[in-house]
């Protein structure tokens, strides 16, 4: 069944804006588009945006994969593999609303710690923990970027984007495959997700000016601001 015209217009616009943000900062398509799609088209969540979130970083990979922090990604992926089944369990059994409230609150706490201390240590333990929360949150709500982004907030724009692009491409693909294998992703969600891919491509190519602006020493501010917005949006969405 093909998605409705309303979904393509509203959901497509949300994904377009999210893709512009993600192509500039390193994450954002889930942050921007999830509240819109979840509110208006809840039967298409989380699958439609997980598919879009799998495609979005592939464009960045082609451009900036050489800047990625490959050593840190191993620990983050280990955590992601542990967190993904938890996210599937949440989708199948628990209240997604409750999980969304908890995830948003934890991200705000982490952000407050970052603002107080000025940095978050990046080591095997924090990378694995961030990967686990990204896997859990990304699978259940399609918002998994903030935990990893906090750890790389002080890196250059290309390094942040390249690292997150690898993590999101493989991580969201794992989430999609796991949900499909366990029959937790209806066909309509997959079809809707693929229908959003042209908007993803348009967002990437439209992001050039913003990407160059943020690379002039403004990436960290943008990352922290988007983390705050994403956590707040997740909490508000689950309170409504």
Could you report the per-residue pLDDT of 73-121, keeping only the tens digit for each? 889 989 988 888 887 777 777 666 776 676 677 677 767 766 655 667 8
Given a cut of 70, whether residue 163 has pLDDT beyond it is yes
What pLDDT, on a 0 to 100 scale, did the predictor assign at position 226?
85
Average pLDDT, the chain: 85
pLDDT score at 107: 72
The residue-averaged pLDDT of 201-205 equals 96
**Model confidence band, residue 136 (pLDDT cutoffs 50, 70, 90):** confident
Residues whose CB is less than 8 angstroms from the CB of residue 132 and which lie 6 or more positions away in sequence, other chains included: 79, 80, 82, 83, 86
Return d(Cα 106, Cα 97) in angstroms, integer.
14
DSSP 23-85: HHHS--HHHHHHHHHHHH-GGGTTHHHHHHHHHHHHHHHHHHGGG--HHHHHHHHHHHHHHHH
In Å, how far from its chain's centre is CA 156?
19
Rounded Cα gap, residues 181 and 165, in angstroms: 24
């Amino acid at each position: 069944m093909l998605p409705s015209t309303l979904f393509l217009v509203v959901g497509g616009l949300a994904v377009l804006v999210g893709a512009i943000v993600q192509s500039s900062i390193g994450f954002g398509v889930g942050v921007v588009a999830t509240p819109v799609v979840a509110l208006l088209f809840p039967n298409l969540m989380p699958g439609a945006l997980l598919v879009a979130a799998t495609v979005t970083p592939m464009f960045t990979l082609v451009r900036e994969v050489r800047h990625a922090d490959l050593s840190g990604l191993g620990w983050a992926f280990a955590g992601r593999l542990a967190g993904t089944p938890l996210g599937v369990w949440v989708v199948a059994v628990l209240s997604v609303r409750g999980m969304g409230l908890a995830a948003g609150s934890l991200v705000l706490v982490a952000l407050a710690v970052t603002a107080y201390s000025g940095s978050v240590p990046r080591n095997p333990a924090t990378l694995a923990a961030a990967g686990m929360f990204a896997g859990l949150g990304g699978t259940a709500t399609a918002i998994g970027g903030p935990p990893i982004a906090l750890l790389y907030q002080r890196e250059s724009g290309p390094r942040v984007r390249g690292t997150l692009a690898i993590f999101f491409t493989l991580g969201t693909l794992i989430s999609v495959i796991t949900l499909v294998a366990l029959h937790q992703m209806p066909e309509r969600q997959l079809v809707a997700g693929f229908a959003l891919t042209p908007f993803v491509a348009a967002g990437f190519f439209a992001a050039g000016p913003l990407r160059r602006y943020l690379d002039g020493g403004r990436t960290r501010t943008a990352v922290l601001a988007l983390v705050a917005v994403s956590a707040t949006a997740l909490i508000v969405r689950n309170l409504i």
